[in-house]
């Protein structure tokens, strides 16, 4: 969260994004709806809330993949988080396969109680 909140972490691009170092990995937080527009406090707040719950969100994706992997080769379910996309009402986590060439999104929506629910993955 410290790197995310540090203004110098913002890349100078359109649309804007943050690039965070988490351990040996770099993860980006994209704001695709802000092309040629500045980020708003609401954008930053939503991204912060999502990052605070990333483990829970990722666990939901892992649970779904575990159910789907029972009849398939496990290598099809080895993946890592590539980047986040933050929109007004949803956050998506894009995953990249580590053994199979694949890229896909898990889309989450924040409930009134602050929890994040997997809508599509």
Q: Are 34 and 16 in contact (CB under 8 A)?
A: yes
Q: How far apart are CA 65 and CA 75, in angstroms?
A: 11
What is the reported pTM?
0.78
Q: pLDDT tens digits for 9-46?
A: 455 677 777 777 666 777 788 888 888 887 788 888 88
pLDDT of residue 115 exceeding 60: yes
Q: How far apart are CA 86 and CA 108, in angstroms?
A: 10
| pLDDT interval class at 107 (50, 70, 90) | very high
Q: How far apart are CA 98 and CA 118, in angstroms?
A: 22
Q: pLDDT tens digits for 65-86?
A: 777 666 667 666 678 888 899 8
């Amino acid at each position: 969260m410290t790197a995310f909140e540090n203004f110098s972490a913002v890349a100078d691009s359109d649309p804007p994004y943050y690039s965070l170092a988490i351990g040996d990995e770099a993860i980006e937080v994209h704001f695709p709806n802000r092309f040629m527009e500045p980020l708003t406090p609401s954008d930053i707040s939503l991204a912060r809330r999502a990052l605070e719950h990333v483990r829970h969100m990722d666990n939901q994706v892992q649970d779904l993949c575990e159910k789907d992997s029972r009849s398939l080769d496990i290598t099809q379910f080895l993946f890592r988080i590539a980047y986040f996309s933050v929109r007004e009402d949803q956050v998506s986590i894009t995953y990249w396969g580590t053994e199979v060439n694949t890229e896909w999104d898990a889309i989450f929506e924040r409930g009134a109680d602050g929890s994040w629910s997997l809508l599509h993955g």
